[in-house]
Structure 1
Amino acid sequence: MKVLVIGSGGREHAICWKVKQSPLVEKLYCMPGNAGISEIAECVDIKVEDLDAIVEFALENNIDLAIIGPEVPLVMGLSDKLSENGIKSFGPNKMAAEFEGSKAFSKRFMEKYNIPTAAYGVYDNPQDALDGLENFSEPVVVKADGLAAGKGVLICQKMDEAVEAIKSIMESRQFGEAGDTVVVEEFLTGIEASLLCFVDGERIIPMESARDYKKAFDNDEGLNTGGMGCFSPNPIYTDKLQKFLDENILNNIIDGFKKDGIDYHGVLFIGLMIENDEAKVLEFNVRFGDPETQVVLPRMKSDIVEVMLKTIDGNLGQEDLMWNEQESVTVVLASGGYPEGYEKGKTITGLETVDEDIIVFHAGTKFDGDDIVTNGGRVLAVTCVADSIEKARERVYDNLPKIEFEKKQYRTDIAKL
């Protein structure tokens, strides 16, 4: 098979790394890819938003399977375009991708199908949003409705912060068109967790659990990011919790898809807040999470290409997903200043010196001549699979000093249980 992975981040590097292990794959492309991905796939310099060029390339190169990594091309309808041209595409269609394209759409779906979530209000103009704050108590969460690269969620401890957040999003256009509508939510307490699921149109089948760390700095301080580290499995997933998830969330989701005529094939990422063996949904994403993918896929024993093909064809079974009982940790090395202003082009050294049990997934990297340099906010995800979370964590942190670039930053408390 000829396989094309679309995207350029750590998630896509992890997908390429896993796809490359499949005996079904004879040729692997990635567009646009990055410096790390180029070691295992042929990178093609086409932007993920250039849907016509992607389809043209796929047709010219007889691509058998296209795997769409990021949310933007999914929301734009790339899966539909590929399918219309006879190319198997792993990733939900445009209608289904609205679960990430609009937080308001997701919240209304949750409400309609009795999926536990935070109380909320949806507002299309600043004054209505400001007036709506009267319905909430401190702290409160203000979200840009549309895509904001993982940064459109503002947790406001005081109402005056919420007022500023609404003005920043809707009047100052902090997130552009993504802030035309805002969702205001009650603040949920508990432990945050991530659940990735394969959805084949008929069934929703969870992968192994993970826990992400969204805040930029230790002790969950600083601004929200795309994710600064992760570990898997998440010990909060008890049998009691799993029963709650099945009965109140997963079954209701697939039931809602069918009743609303949403033909969902791909990955559904469910962000959860867990307390007392019960959960509420924070958000849906319509693709693999980042950096969750970097800890979940290294634990996967199944052939991911076979799993994806069965997901597309609608015949995936629980028995198709097999997992390594070892545990995994990843820590993100980021550019200084991330998630706000940061500089690119910093030379990365030491990648060849990490130990053999360490996997380094590239997120924001590129080649500058023979040098690998930084090319984004999140630069690398340093990962280890070991017999315990503690051992995997120790191995990762032992190796982080070996990799250097100017102003690198990372959290020191990932997976510190």
Structure 2
Amino acid sequence: MILYHDAIARLRAVAARLPSERCAVGDALGRVLAAPVTSLIALPSFDHAAMDGYALAAPEPLEAGSEHVVHGSQAAGDAARRAEGGAWEIMTGARLPDGLDAVVAVERTELLDAAPDGTPRRIRLRDELGEGQNVRHAGVDVASGAIVLTAGTRLQPAQLMLLAAIGVPEVQVQRRPRVVVIGTGKELVVDPRQPLVDGQIYASNGPYLAAALALAGAQVLSCEVVDDTAVTYADALRRAQRAGADLVVSTGAVSMGRYDFVPEALRQLGASELFHKVAMRPGKPLLAATLPDGPLVMALPGTPMAVAAGMRFFVAPVLRTLLGQGDEPVVHALLDTPQQPKAGLRHFLRATFFVDAEGHLRARVMPQQQPFRILPFAQSDGWVVLDEDAGDCAAGRLVEVASLDAGTALPLHPLA
């Protein structure tokens, strides 16, 4: 039996970073940058008005009560124009006419004269106006030539907004890891419309893994169920190889029972075992191996929470390595419920999170932690992780926590 950190080290040693490819920004949601992005323009690209009002030249402060002739009007999208003093009516986002350097809000002026069509001719300032006031200067957000996004960044809507704003049409991203999911068990029914007969259950591990893998940045090539024989499992692995899978995640048949054929099937295929059994709860029988010429196989126990823990804490770090990302940041919270974990095992516990009256993040471990229970998992916010040497954990202890799924953030609830 191997310790968690040793198991992760062995997985990362065989999980090489995938090649990169070009991707249109419009198709890049959730993709991981393979190279930094440099802006070729300044943002904003010109000095412009922060509000509707009047643009003036104010190298020296203009006094409250001073009067100014309005020489023209500048709207958003108008080309650069030269102003020779005076005031110019200006709209939010409009480029400042050359020679002007300040904007007064329209409500802080008094209109003294206007043309019959309402065009302002003369205004009076209600307040003093200084240089740069209400002006957004070129490059104040992004300087031309600046690196705006680094390699390893997962592109979310905020990053796509930035890329669109600086005029980037496509980016270099990591190829998505190609993953095949294999469930084992003659009792599994894939079609939820099919009534169950005695001894059958609906397959839930496959749909969970397909969704969790996609959230973590993978491309799921297939998700199938095979019966309880080494032959059908080996056939599924061969199909995964032909499909070009980088990773196979299977569930079930990996422990020590009569029908736990996965270890022997992998040996028959010439696989090199990385480890089998990890000092953890749930999911101890987890196995990892590499087939000749690939792919990496991660065989998880079939119990639902063993699958969930294996996905979150073993498969997800492998995907980060394939995608060229570093370690996931470690987050801590104060334990709200005392725990007495078994010594020598790393425990992954489902929990809810809230912020207490002092603003501290607190973790409340769910009362039902049996690995077959799915409802508490669906009601939880994430995981509490207690290491092998945690010992008795009193309420108030600082512990490691993680979001429920890779690629998601911790939900924070107000004080209950």
Do both proteins adopt the same fold according to a TM-score greater than 0.5, normalized to the shorter chain?
A: no
Q: More helix per residue: 1 or 2?
A: 1
Structure showing greater radius of gyration is: 2
TM range (shorter): under 0.3
